[in-house]
Structure 1
């Protein structure tokens, strides 16, 4: 707390100094760089896009050391991200809409223009990142599947006519070794360009198991990528990319909370079994682009095959009472054809169609030691099958979409967009009859844009987003057979401005979202699965503001603030769910942080011809969300400070950086499972072991 106050005091003093010397600072400043984004599937400047977008450029990514989803989420207002249990269990939250366990995120995830098919693709090492765009508000009309709260565009390095190479080596505490490298360039000039790269991470971890001597947060990953670009004609391009990842994730075991208080995370991690979490991924995609004077035609094909397993100590004690294993496999194929108008006209349009087919199989087994239930004379290793669940789910979606914008004048424009999704679902249970369900939804959006000057714009939008429903596992002991689809209706007013001769930008938005059938999940020990539950009605109100200032030529300051106030307005408990509806009315849905805030600066001081010292601290605040819909268990507020400092050459071709993450050593769990949520057979509250601070040194080289 003292360090945080000193850090904020220092930044406040720095800002005051800058204000007091505004004229002097302006004499030495340069404009902030113009940022180009593809938020609306075409290239345009960030300040001209009538959507709330947080952007991290290649320079931001390099200087901030962004290597994961967690890193860029921590720089975005009204966005949070956590990972627990296994590599495929992610919790992304955007503007009060969250991700349930083993469920799609509330945003479309697009990598190099290709929409992810499986949520298990999301937490894969996308090294050589060039740009990250986080769009907020429903984007279903353009992005489709699951874009109920926004979209995330990731752009990685693309081979071109110039030779390029990039290498990174890092060593940190907890025996963390990271190496990344890639090379790209022309193989046949004007025709064939190739990029090849590999990333390797090996971390021992820092959360030690008191019983086995192993570490909970161990991690090892090898990810490789091959990307080929063909340009048989000036207006034709084929872009083919293959990614392979082989990872060994964290120990899935949780810690038994002796106190039952989420604010206390110092209980011993003493599971007697060593857990494992292997994952293998094959991701292949291809994009064919053909430009003409009238339009750009883009055909995208994608295939993914990802398998993930886990084995864990389920009782989370030094005794052999409960154990669990799980195997999951997802395969899918998608295709999209879109036509987009040429630029340079008052009228722009986009039209297209999308199709995806995928399969998901998940097999979960829970084992017990009969001795602890009075069924055996002595304790043995927990190996008697207690419950099992095995289902094969098949999904198929057909969609059509269109968008048109017309600028009546240079100051006034209107955009209309519409998408229709039709989802067909089938479940083949391990035992029992086949199930079938379907979900369909029109997703309209209308936006009015007003630009009183080149440095000021306003927009007003109304739009709907849609996240499809799903089946609950056939062996669930409570809940409805089908999880209903979510629908969000969003009303938003936003403004974007450039100030101080374009040395400052301030972007802000205020919104209300009416969410129907919001989804969350509870663990069902008897059924060896997670059960999806719908919240009938939730009203979400909030706002966000982001600012960037080039205070001096050597100093950039960035700040943001996000506020989200979700409230449950109606809830119908499903069959077998304890509690009355009135218990939940007026509560906040689980996993939603009400306040997020960021403050940081980038200071770079030339010290000689060709050498620059740099210092980049960043502060992140997240208010504590509730872990349960009853709003009894609340996570403590989280204060996160990351530091990076070092030296680089003026062209940023090499750098040596010392880094520290979570330097306040805040140990806040990524997941807390109250007994009321998990139904754990021993009656225990459980939480994922939190990780503290880490430090290291990094060397990067670019050619």
Structure 2
């Protein structure tokens, strides 16, 4: 059988922690005590909970990448967006008002009504909104990224995968640390502190807090325009654990976070002379010179509405573990809430033309009960029930001030037969309320048929219901009631910005999902697996549709086939993992930009197939190499009703095709044909108590389609980035000092972009595009003191 021996002696924390379990290892079914002894004897075994059991990474039958808390701290990884750079086929990045999370080219676009394609779980609690993924890391034990559908054990909205985050837990011994970091190029300062230990024989606690302040990397030449994205983040967490009885442990968590951003990384990058002239009617005479892919911009929000993104969040959670004979009964109860205010300059220029703000609040209660059988039996099983109740309020206001552009205003007034200056200035008010309820029941059985062969099957039933109330009002700026004149003009053929409407709708759906997994040990060092799974993402309501062209979108489903090999060679100094997959998606939910907002619908069919691999090789006890790669073919099988590009609207081909374009056979968003990373780590004791470490990683990607309509102006061309680290630390881990360099060749790249607002209206803004520019080369000093 395969045993968890000490793997890759001398390999660095990063090389060991950032590894992919592309397959599972069938075993001789050791008892719980035998497994515990094996793990205790092997410092390199990483414990994960991807199967809802605490298991070694090598025992897990899922395509899985894991990054440990130590690696997160060493590499200066502050959040999920930075983490995603290290894992091929994973994209996490900010858009205008949310985060976009994609795995293998499948994710959710920009619409507040969307559920997520990639589910995020923190300490076993489902975080149902993309906004939750913006939080900074705080005292993390590990992050697990599960690729492919995970519907049996994790439920709906894991159609592309799941992210499972585990916080540091209270310890039986007193320990703690203080860590500070300073980054020179964007003037970032941060500090994190943690203390953990026993308060009595039966009571333990862990308290952690961090603070971060940053100026950002975009320089803004507009008067009263903010540089940015400047950040000020504060987070505090307390976890208290009580052995209430010999068989009962209670774990209570309370967490509060405030994440404030001023200024944005967005800028107008492509513009025509006419657009430059119109946008340059603002107060910055240097506006035109800021276009292009650099980190200089000129934009500003309306007076009194600065460009900002402020979030407050709270989490309260109680987890109870009861030992019932050899079984474990777990209850997870949680209440989560966030609220945020977001204002963005939707014209991307210093002129006060288009401004958009959003206020959103989301409250969620979840309850899960899970029964787990003991490990080491011929038949193992787990079963559970899950309930979720969520309330969403999302209100947006979009102000269009045509008076700031007299040439445009005069031209439109001329078409309307005259009017006073400023009479067409308008504010569109969008009010969206949604209540949703989900309950599900699930079970999974594992049959250990022989010492080498294991079969696992799972099934889940889910029931979802939603109610949405939506209203859109056309008003004078600052008003709260409908203005009949503006409502008529703004919905007319002359402008066609938005319509007034309201609705109160209900929808419900139910699904059976499941998976079948086969695992086989070819020998002690080579394992293989095959997995078939299904999944779904719930349908819902279009929260951001200004023109009322779509009110609902349908659920999305997937069938997934995956096979993999996991090998350990050269006396287990080398690890190689390979996985091949074919995923077929039906009724894929898409979000496309139209005039001043996004509308959603369902594409017909999408196929995602490819090969992923990773390796770790300990050349010596001091030098190791590591890497990962992906070859991906992610395309629309059939998508004949896709939103048109601006160029197609202008040349008439969009109208000739009924107002749509055909994207069948075209690549998906955030799905490069190839991507990967390669690097080395070197650790050497220079004295009996002192260790020097250094390492370098090269991360590369092929061309990335960023815009949902496939516009070639929003394709990030292929690039490579180089990161490096050099550090010195005490051999006992009591202190460390390191310098971390990122993007050392100073590549200018972007991770979001699209047509600028009104670029397809014919008023002179044609062929104008914005992009979100990523950080430049940075150098960060990190110091840590542990006790």
Structure 1 length-normalised TM: 0.90
Secondary structure (helix, strand or coil) at the match of 1:249 reads strand
Match of 1:217 in 2: 229
Secondary structure (helix, strand or coil) at the match of 2:502 reads coil
Which of 100, 105, 117 does residue 96 from structure 1 map onto? Answer: 105
Matches within 5 A, 1:108-507: 108-173=119-184, 174-189=186-201, 191-212=202-223, 214-252=226-264, 254-259=266-271, 264-266=292-294, 268-273=296-301, 274-371=306-403, 372=405, 373-374=409-410, 384-430=425-471, 432-473=502-543, 476-477=546-547, 479-507=549-577
Deviations 1:485-526 (CA, angstroms, capped at 9, x unpaired): 111110111111211222221111100000112222123445
Contact 1:126 1:156 in 2 (8 A): no
Contact 1:297 1:339 in 2 (8 A): yes
How far does residue 250 in structure 1 lie from its aligned partner after superposition?
A: 4.5
Matches within 5 A, 1:485-564: 485-525=555-595, 529-564=597-632
Deviations 1:651-671 (CA, angstroms, capped at 9, x unpaired): 222100111111111111121
Match of 1:619 in 2: 698
Secondary structure (helix, strand or coil) at the match of 2:773 reads coil
**Mapped pair 1:61 → 2:86:** no
Match of 2:483 in 1: none
Residues 655 and 165 (structure 1 numbering): CA distance in 2 closer, same or farther, change over 3 Å? same
User: Partners in 2 of 1:314 and 1:631 — Cα distance?
Assistant: 21
Structure number, greater radius of gyration: 2
Match of 1:653 in 2: 734
RMSD: 2.6
Deviations 1:680-701 (CA, angstroms, capped at 9, x unpaired): 7844322123321111211011
User: Partners in 1 of 2:421 and 2:674 — Cα distance?
Assistant: 49
Contact 2:156 2:537 in 1 (8 A): yes
Deviations 1:56-91 (CA, angstroms, capped at 9, x unpaired): 2344333333321123222222212212334xx112
**Mapped pair 1:610 → 2:689:** yes
Deviations 1:129-167 (CA, angstroms, capped at 9, x unpaired): 111211111111001121111121111211121111111
Residues 241 and 496 (structure 1 numbering): CA distance in 2 closer, same or farther, change over 3 Å? same
Matches within 5 A, 1:665-676: 665-674=746-755
User: Partners in 2 of 1:43 and 1:312 — Cα distance?
Assistant: 43
Residues 515 and 490 (structure 1 numbering): CA distance in 2 closer, same or farther, change over 3 Å? same
Secondary structure (helix, strand or coil) at the match of 1:71 reads helix
How far does residue 420 in structure 1 lie from its aligned partner after superposition?
A: 1.4
How far does residue 221 in structure 1 lie from its aligned partner after superposition?
A: 0.6
Aligned length: 667
Which of 670, 679, 697 does residue 600 from structure 1 map onto? Answer: 679
Residues 53 and 44 (structure 1 numbering): CA distance in 2 closer, same or farther, change over 3 Å? same
User: Partners in 1 of 2:755 and 2:164 — Cα distance?
Assistant: 34
Deviations 1:544-567 (CA, angstroms, capped at 9, x unpaired): 001112221112221110121112
How far does residue 422 in structure 1 lie from its aligned partner after superposition?
A: 1.2
Residues 205 and 434 (structure 1 numbering): CA distance in 2 closer, same or farther, change over 3 Å? same
Match of 1:23 in 2: none
Secondary structure (helix, strand or coil) at the match of 1:671 reads strand
**Mapped pair 1:106 → 2:117:** yes
Residues 323 and 259 (structure 1 numbering): CA distance in 2 closer, same or farther, change over 3 Å? closer
Structure 2 length-normalised TM: 0.81
How far does residue 629 in structure 1 lie from its aligned partner after superposition?
A: 4.6
How far does residue 175 in structure 1 lie from its aligned partner after superposition?
A: 1.4
Secondary structure (helix, strand or coil) at the match of 1:142 reads helix
Secondary structure (helix, strand or coil) at the match of 1:583 reads coil
Contact 1:420 1:443 in 2 (8 A): yes
Residues 119 and 81 (structure 1 numbering): CA distance in 2 closer, same or farther, change over 3 Å? closer
Residues 433 and 485 (structure 1 numbering): CA distance in 2 closer, same or farther, change over 3 Å? same
How far does residue 439 in structure 1 lie from its aligned partner after superposition?
A: 2.4
**Mapped pair 1:42 → 2:34:** no
User: Partners in 2 of 1:111 and 1:235 — Cα distance?
Assistant: 25
How far does residue 575 in structure 1 lie from its aligned partner after superposition?
A: 9.7
How far does residue 104 in structure 1 lie from its aligned partner after superposition?
A: 4.0
Secondary structure (helix, strand or coil) at the match of 1:47 reads helix
Match of 1:696 in 2: 780
Residues 297 and 398 (structure 1 numbering): CA distance in 2 closer, same or farther, change over 3 Å? same
User: Partners in 2 of 1:51 and 1:460 — Cα distance?
Assistant: 10
Bigger mean CA offset, 473-482 vs 36-45: 473-482
Structure 2 residues without counterparts, runs of 5 or longer? 1-40, 273-290, 472-500
User: Partners in 2 of 1:638 and 1:217 — Cα distance?
Assistant: 23
User: Partners in 2 of 1:444 and 1:46 — Cα distance?
Assistant: 22
Residues 617 and 522 (structure 1 numbering): CA distance in 2 closer, same or farther, change over 3 Å? same
